[in-house]
Amino acid sequence: MADISLSSVGKSFAGAPALHDITTHFRDGEFVALLGPSGCGKTTLLRLLAGFEMPSTGTIRIGDSDMADAAAGRMVPPENRNIGFVFQSYALWPHMNVRRNVSYPLEIRRLPKADIAARTLAALEATGLEPYADRMPSDLSGGQRQRVALARCLVSDPDAVLLDEPLANLDVALRASMQGVFTDFHKRTGATMVYVTHDQAEAMAMADRIAVMDHGQIRQFDTPRTLYERPRSKFVAEFVGRGTVVPLRDVQMSGAGLQARALGARIAVQSSPDTATVSHVCLRPENLTISEVGDLRAKVARVTYLGGRYLLETVAACGTCLLAETRAKFEVGSQLGLTIDTPWAFAED
């Protein structure tokens, strides 16, 4: 078992807090993404899990072992954690060829030579690197170097793998294909993976669950679908996916559901039963239907072809920008009606 538990974990640098009181649990074998804007504390959280930093408060457990206890001043060093790391910078040994980069962690552990050779070959095959085994890192592309870093993790059979923006240096097309390499690696190893990114599309494509972070806290930790369809706050609604957050007025129970006024229109909204008060909704493109008898009038300001459909940026009569998707092409400047279809409502914070 290599689940990861954090209890009241905080970290300050010279008195300035970078993480506040984080209590959370990553399941054994889960692919977790830490997602959030620059400076929100993603890398700090990863470094605490790795053992590169000591928490200022709280405890960290990986599997059955206590890894850090701030109150007791105890911490297990990184080399004793059975954790793999993959960094944006690849961190390969430049003077060793690909095979040696992959086998080296086993050599340090003084495993039998035949064992090392068999495990290295299996890791090279699993990452498609066998044809490059004799090349030096300087003679590889960015994607190939990142595969070497993954093969080096794979060979050590880690309980958990920590990845810090591993695709940040790669171009868009390569990033998409490398996402498949990472998810295959995850399936193959069954390791718990914690993946730092500020790219929400990447997190949505790969992770089982995403911890959305802001100002040193986890604002919501849920599946990609729940984060998109049921955000709990304005911050998460705006950070994950497209849409416009607008305030609600006159929120009332009506029959089985909630009704409210948004942008001057009376609309039905949905929300979580455990949310005591809702104050905002997120109008995603799926919540807006183009129809002549719409709730709102809007003017098309910009049209983007998305492949098979168009994204319309419209400006409603009240001045709010709203996004709609359609199969039919509209001209910039045309007027249309928009019907609001039961958007998701939440509290502001």
CB nearer to ligand ATP: pick between 39 and 257: 39
CA distance 246 to 244: 6
Residue nearer to ligand ATP on the CB measure, 39 or 190: 39
Residue recorded with tokens 């050599």: 107
Q: Which residue in 9, 22, 40, 163 binds ligand ATP (CB under 6 A)?
A: 40
Task: Using the rule CB under 6 A, give the single segment among 33-41, 70-78, 79-87, 236-244 that binds ligand ATP.
Answer: 33-41
Q: What are phi and psi of 141, to 5 degrees?
A: -80, 170
- In 10 A of CB 28, how many CB atoms? 14
Is 93 a binding residue for ligand ATP by CB under 6 A? The answer is no
73/69 Cα distance (integer angstroms): 6
Identity of the residue, 56 or 320, whose beta carbon is nearer to ligand ATP in the bound complex: 56
138 touches ligand ATP (CB under 6 A): no
Among 43, 179, 289, 326, binds ligand ATP (CB under 6 A): 43
DSSP 95-152: TS-HHHHHHHHHHHTT--HHHHHHHHHHHHHHTT-GGGTTS-GGGS-HHHHHHHHHHH
With CA atoms as reference, report the closest residue to 126 among 162, 159, 163, 154: 154
The DSSP symbol for 37 reads S
Q: Which residue, 40 or 116, has its beta carbon nearer to ligand ATP?
A: 40
Please report whether residue 41 would count as binding ligand ATP according to CB under 6 A: yes
Residue among 10 and 343 whose Cβ is closer to ligand ATP: 10
Nearer to ligand ATP, 39 or 247 (CB): 39
Tokens 């954090």 correspond to: 6
38 near ligand ATP (CB under 6 A)? yes
Please tell me whether residue 42 binds ligand ATP under the rule CB under 6 A.
yes
Q: Which CB sits closer to ligand ATP, 14 or 328?
A: 14
Alpha carbons 139 and 65: distance in angstroms, whole number: 40
Residue 39 found at the interface with ligand ATP (CB under 6 A) = yes
Q: How far is the CB of 157 from ligand ATP (least distance, A)?
A: 28
Name residues contacting ligand ATP, limited to 151-210 (CB under 6 A): 198
Nearest residue to 285 (alpha-carbon basis) of 334, 249, 321, 318: 321
Interacting residue with ligand ATP among 2, 6, 18, 340 (CB under 6 A): 18
Residue 15 sits in the site that holds ligand ATP (CB under 6 A): no
Torsion angles phi and psi, residue 296, rounded to 5? -135, 155
CB of 113 to ligand ATP, least distance (A): 40
Nearer to ligand ATP, 49 or 324 (CB): 49
Cα 267 versus chain centre, distance = 32
- Nearest CA-CA partner of 178 in 212, 141, 131, 210: 141
Count of residues engaged in binding ligand ATP, rule: CB under 6 A = 11
Cβ 220 to ligand ATP, closest distance in Å? Answer: 16
Q: What's the closest the beta carbon of residue 164 comes to ligand ATP, in angstroms?
A: 8
**CA pair distance 275, 140, nearest whole angstrom:** 52
Q: 263 near 320, Cβ under 8 Å?
A: yes
* Contact footprint for ligand ATP (CB under 6 A): 13, 18, 36, 38-44, 198
